[in-house]
Amino acid sequence: MKWMLFGPETYIFLVAFFFLILSMWRGPHSEKDHVLALALSGLGVVISLACLGAEGLLFAGAYRLDLFSQVFKVALSFGLFLIVCLCANVEEIKRRYRLEFYFFLFVCTLAMMLLVSAQHLLTILLALELSSYSLYILVTLRRDEDMGLEAGIKYFLTGIFASSIMIFGMALLYGATGAVYLQDLAQVLPEVMGTPAAVIGLLLTFGGFFFKLAVYPFHFWVADTYQGAPDQVTAYIATASKVAVIAVVIKLIAAVDQNSTYLIHVLAVLSIASMTLGNLAAMVQKDMKRLLAYSTIAHSGYVLIGILSGGTAGYASAVFYALALLVMKFTVFLVVVVLSPRGKNLEREELAGLHGRSPLLALALMVSIFSLAGIPPTIGFMGKFYVFMGAMDKGLFVLVLIAMINVVVSLYYYLLIIKAAYLGHSWETPPAVHLPQPMRWLTGALIATMMVAGFYPTPLIRLSEAVARSLM
């Protein structure tokens, strides 16, 4: 039965539909809704795992299932599950929209699952738009209307601008090659790679994805949107949505990059610009979410190095980095969500004395920040090591050197966070943080994952390599 291949997507769609109906049926009931969403998203992870081996083509070849797409679907449903774990306390979301909040989370995940499998330019466009529109709405759901609306409108305006650029690029690409399927593009593109229409079309098409990935010339929305969105939504944008976009960029580059130096050069320039700008701008941020926004821009730069290195090793390193980002970014956001004062954003200085208030959270913060900074033995170190190794094999020494300098620069603001959490003293002693028992397990599991994958990354590397091979 071919429809079984479509299992995770169908399931997530049905759950989203269920929440929509529920929102018409009754008002929100925070605790009940949370347990429900938690159970349903947990089942989603199980179903995606069960469909891990699915392979085939659906919808007249516009939709491809292989190890690459299935692994990313598991990562996405897992990301959704983690985010729902954070939604026990959704005080920041407007009360009357709390059921719709879950609806949009599930729809957005559905769209990203479609995105990683899509093979047709229009399918990719539709999936990307569906996920973007869900996020635009999610961002505006913040209870503090001024912040949420400002963030949402900034996100929306830059977003539709990037989308229109991308559509124009796709039109040019179609005009130059006459192909809309990625596998056809891969065959036709090398012949026309020298023509202006193909080059400009490719660059503009990638513009839309770089917007979602927050790469340098398209990064303007990131800081304001992260700051204004509800914490859970910010966490979702920073983890699941980034993983999906990294996946689709890898897929597109793997399809169109037939040893063309054009694209490599452009990607190298964007990568250097993103990481330099992200790291320098992050230094002066006081707001934790703004700081993480700029660190996201820098991490997009590192991921691009893996992608532009190309070949199985390059793509595998990018896949590894995406999975690592999911875990470490989420752990930082877990701390941010738990500690955020009501109605406001968490400032870096407010972390002072965290060590005394909750040793577990302080440890989680330290491990995840070390991981983001790339200090061994954490998963983040392995990710960076793997990416830089891939680039060195291709002889991109200068690029790796610049990236290394950036890593050192980024240590400054990462260590400031840890300094605040461990050495800072606050004037008045804030109360100890009460963390429910399941959240403790989750935090412990995340710390363990980051450390174990840092010591023994072989299974994850094998997986990333298998994923990258299924792409070639």
Partner 1 sequence: MEPITDGAMLSPWEPGVFSLVLFGLLVLAFIGFQLFIAHWVGERKESREKSRVYESGVIPTGTARLQFPVPFYMVAIFFLLFDVEGVFIFAWAVVFRDLGWTGWFQMVFFIIVLLVGLAYIWVKGGLDWRESHRPK
User: Residue 27 CB, nearest distance to partner 1 (Å)?
Assistant: 5
Gap between the terminal Cα atoms of the chain: 27
Task: In whole angstroms, give the CA distance from residue 341 to residue 402.
Answer: 38
Residue (27 or 61) nearer to partner 1, CB:
27
Minimum Å gap between C-beta 427 and partner 1 is: 42
Residue 219, token pair as written in the block:
């990064």
DSSP string, 297-311: HHHHHHHHHHHHH-H
Structure token pair of residue 64: 């491809």
**Helix, strand, or coil (residue 433):** coil
Cα gap 305→388, rounded to integer Å: 8
Q: Is the CB of 21 or the CB of 283 nearer to partner 1?
A: 21
Distance CA 182, CA 188 (A): 10
Minimum distance from residue 15 beta carbon to partner 1 (Å): 14
Instruction: Identify which of residues 27 and 343 has a Cβ nearer to partner 1 in the complex.
Output: 27
What is residue 342's DSSP assignment?
A: T
**Integer angstrom CA distances of residue 185 from 245, 250, 254, 256:** 20, 15, 11, 7
Kindly tell me which of 88 and 200 has the beta carbon lying closer to partner 1.
200
In sequence order, what are the beta bridge partners of 118? 63
3-state helix, strand, coil in the chain (%, to 5): 80, 5, 15
Cβ 395 to partner 1, closest distance in Å?
Answer: 28
Cβ closer to partner 1: 20 or 167? 20
209 close to 267: Cβ distance less than 8 angstroms: no
Q: Rounded to whole angstroms, what are the CA distances from 234 to 30, 115, 237, 329, 412?
A: 20, 20, 5, 11, 23
Output 220 or 262, the one with its CB closest to partner 1.
262
Distance of closest approach, residue 420 Cβ to partner 1, in angstroms: 42
Contacts to partner 1 by CB under 8 A: 17, 20-21, 23-24, 26-27, 96, 195-196
Tally the C-alpha atoms within 13 A of residue 332's C-alpha that lie toward its C-beta.
Answer: 31
Any idea what DSSP says for residue 351?
Answer: G
Pick between residue 16 and residue 253 the one whose CB is nearest to partner 1. 16
Full DSSP string of 42-89? HHHHHHHHHTTT--EEETTTTEEESHHHHHHHHHHHHHHHHHHHGGG-
Q: Which is nearer to partner 1, 93 or 298 (CB)?
A: 93
Closest distance of CB 26 from partner 1, Å: 8
425 backbone dihedrals φ, ψ, rounded to 5°? -115, 135
- The token pair at 245 is 């976009």
- Residue 309 C-beta: closest distance to partner 1, Å: 29
Q: Please report how close the Cβ of residue 23 comes to partner 1 at its closest, in angstroms.
A: 7
Closer residue to partner 1, CB minimum distance, 17 or 441: 17
Q: How far is the CB of 211 from partner 1 (least distance, A)?
A: 24
